[in-house]
Amino acid sequence: MPDKPSLDFYYEFASTYSYLTAMRIDGLAGQAGVAVAWRPFLLGPIFAAQGWTTSPFNLYPAKGRYMVRDIERIAKARGRTFVMPAVFPANGLAAARIALSGEAAGWTNDFSRRVYEAQFEHAADISNVDVLASLLKGMNLDPVTVLAQANAPETKDRLRAQSARAAELGVFGAPSFITPDGELFWGDDRLEHALAWTLGHKPD
Amino acid sequence: MPDKPSLDFYYEFASTYSYLTAMRIDGLAGQAGVAVAWRPFLLGPIFAAQGWTTSPFNLYPAKGRYMVRDIERIAKARGRTFVMPAVFPANGLAAARIALSGEAAGWTNDFSRRVYEAQFEHAADISNVDVLASLLKGMNLDPVTVLAQANAPETKDRLRAQSARAAELGVFGAPSFITPDGELFWGDDRLEHALAWTLGHKPD
C-alpha cells in the first residue's frame, strides 16, 4: 500500500487561528486519508521583516477586535470556548522548542494541542516554563529531561531552520499549509482546500 | 408575509475578495431567503487611517503573491477566470459613485458585477470613465445622464457618509457583511456564516 500523502502544517503558538486548526487537523486529515507533519515555527522574524514589532491584531485594533469575535464564534460552533490570554501575542519560543523536540517520540501534536488549550481556553501564560512543565507532566513526560533536550543547540538550530524554511516557502502568517507539490494555503478556513489539494482535487 | 431579513454587503471596487463575493452573493442569498443591500464604499480612507498608503497586498509582497494565487484557485473552482489588472489597486471612486447612484433604479448590483468582471476577468482599467460609460451602455443606460447624477454633490456626500458608516461599524477590510443585529463578518469565506447568522443560526 502506498504511503498516505502528507500535508505540512506550519503553526505559531501565539496564533489564535493556528489554535483553531490544531484542535481539528488530525481528525479531519485522518478522515481524508492524509498524514499531517506538524511544523512549529516562529512568526516573529517574518513579521519583523515586514516592519511589524507585534501582532497585526495589536497594530490594527479594529482587526484585533474582529479577530477575537471571529474566533469566539468559530470556537463556539465547534463546541469550544475561546478566551484571550492576558498577554497577546505570547512568546511561544519555549513551547516551539519543546514541540519540536517531541518529534522523534511522536508527541509534537499532543503537546501542541495542550499548549493551545491552556493558552486559549484557560488563559494560561505559555511563555512561563512552569506552565509548560506542568503540561509535560500531564503527558507523563519528565520535564527536566524534555527541557534539556528542548534547549539543546541542535533543537534551537532546527527551529531556526524550520522558521527560515517557512519564509522561503512563502509563508507570511499562520496557520499555513504546504501540500506535497508545494502549494501554499493560509488560514484555518483553507484547511479543507489544502486537504482536497493534497488528494489531487484541484480546480481546473 | 414578513419582509426578508437583509444583509448589508460592504464592498470596495479595487478589492479582489469583494469581486469573489459580488459574483455569488445574490444567488446564495436568494436561495437562503435573505435580501442583500449592496453598499459600495471606499477602503482608502480606512487604510490611510491605519497608516497604509496602498493595498496591504502591495505593502506585503508575500501576502500579495499568495492573494493572487488564492483568488485564482477559488475563481477557477467557481468556473471563473481571474486576471490581475495592470494597476492594482485601481481607483474605484468613479465606479462607487455610479454604483450608488443606481440604488433608486435598482441596478447597483448589476453594474457592480459588470465592473468587477471587466476589472478582474478582462483586466480593464475601471478608473477610466470611458470604460465605465461602456459598461453603462451595455446595460442600456445613458452614460451622460448617469455620470451627471453620479457626480452630483448629493451622491458624493452619500458615498462619503457610507464609507464613514462602514468605519463606525468596525469595517477594516472588504468585503464585509453586517447582519440586521449588527454582527460583522469579514471576507468572502465568511459569506455563508453571515447568511446563517442573518437567519438566526448562531452558535451557542
Per residue of chain A (204 residues), give pLDDT as tens.
568 999 999 999 999 999 999 999 999 999 999 999 999 999 998 888 888 888 888 888 899 999 999 999 999 999 999 999 999 999 999 999 999 999 999 999 999 999 999 999 999 999 999 999 999 999 999 999 999 999 999 999 999 999 999 999 999 999 999 999 999 999 999 999 999 999 999 876
B149: burial class by Cβ within 10 Å (0-12, 13-18, 19+)?
middle
C-alpha cell at A107: 508527541
How far is A34 from B188, CA to CA, in rounded Å? 27
Q: What is the pLDDT of residue A72?
A: 97
Q: What is the pLDDT of residue A3?
A: 84
User: How many Cβ atoms are within 10 Å of B204's Cβ, its own excluded?
Assistant: 5
B65 touches chain A (CB under 8 A): yes
- The answer to whether the CB of A17 falls within 8 A of the CB of A46 is no
CB-based contact (8 Å) between A171 and chain B? yes
How many Cβ atoms are within 10 Å of A141's Cβ, its own excluded? 18
Q: Which DSSP category does A188 fall into?
A: G
pLDDT of residue A1: 52
Q: Which residues contact A146 (CB under 8 A, 6 or more apart)?
A: A98, A101, A102, A136
Provide, rounded to the nearest whole percent, the portion of chain B with pLDDT above 90. Answer: 88
Residue by residue, DSSP assigns B35-59 as: EEEEEE--SHHHHHHTT-SS-HHHH
Geometric angle at alpha carbon B121, from B178 and B185, rounded to 5°: 15
The answer to whether residues B20 and B80 touch, using CB atoms and an 8 Å cutoff, is no
pLDDT of residue B54: 83
Minimum-distance CB partner of B76 among A189, A190, A204: A204
Cα diameter, chain A: 52
Rounded distance between C-alpha atoms, residue A158 and residue A161, angstroms:
5
Phi and psi dihedrals of A184, rounded to 5?
-100, 130
- C-alpha A88/C-alpha A58 separation (Å) is 8
Taking the Cβ of residue A68 and every Cβ of chain B, the question of whether any pair is shorter than 8 Å is answered with no
pTM assigned to the model: 0.94
CA closest to A46 among chain B residues: B62
**What integer pLDDT is reported at residue A52 of this predicted model?**
81
Residues of A in contact with B172 (CB under 8 A): 60, 62-63, 66
Q: What is the pLDDT of residue A60?
A: 85
Nearest-CA distance A199 → chain B (Å): 15
Among candidates A2, A13, A4, A34, which has minimal Cα distance to A191? A34
Q: Is the pLDDT of residue B1 over 60?
A: no
In angstroms, how far apart are the furthest CA atoms of chain B?
Answer: 52
- Going along chain A from its start, the domains and CATH numbers come out as 6-198 (3.40.30.10)
The backbone torsions φ and ψ at residue B84, rounded to the nearest 5 degrees and listed phi first, read: -80, 135
A189: contact with B, CB 8 A cutoff? yes
Dump pLDDT digits (tens) for B79-89: 999 999 999 99
| Helices and strands (DSSP H and E) totals, chain B | 11, 4
Give the Cα-Cα-Cα angle A136, A140, A141 (nearest 5 degrees): 55
> B104 to chain A nearest CA, in Å?
32
Cell of A10: 506550519
Find the Cα–Cα–Cα–Cα dihedral A46, A51, A56, A58, rounded to 10°: 120
Q: Looking at chain B, which runs of residues are DSSP E strands? A: 6-11, 35-40, 176-178, 184-186
Q: What is the mean pLDDT of residues B191-203?
A: 94
8 A C-beta contact, residue B119 and residue B177 = no
Which residues sit opposite A43 in a β-bridge? none
pLDDT of residue B204: 66
Bridge partners, A184 (sequence order): A178
Give contacts of B53 with chain A, Cβ < 8 Å: none
Section B61-86 average pLDDT: 95
**Sign of the alpha-carbon torsion through B78, A63, B157, B103:** positive
Asked if B50 reaches chain A (Cβ–Cβ under 8 Å), the answer is: yes
Closest-CA residue to A24 (of A198, A202, A189):
A189
Q: Which residues of A touch B168 (CB under 8 A)?
A: none
Tell whether A173 lies on the interface with B, counting CB pairs under 8 A: yes
Q: Give φ, ψ of B110 to 5 degrees.
A: -60, -50
The span from the CA of B135 to the CA of A42, in Å, is 48
pLDDT at B3 over 90: no
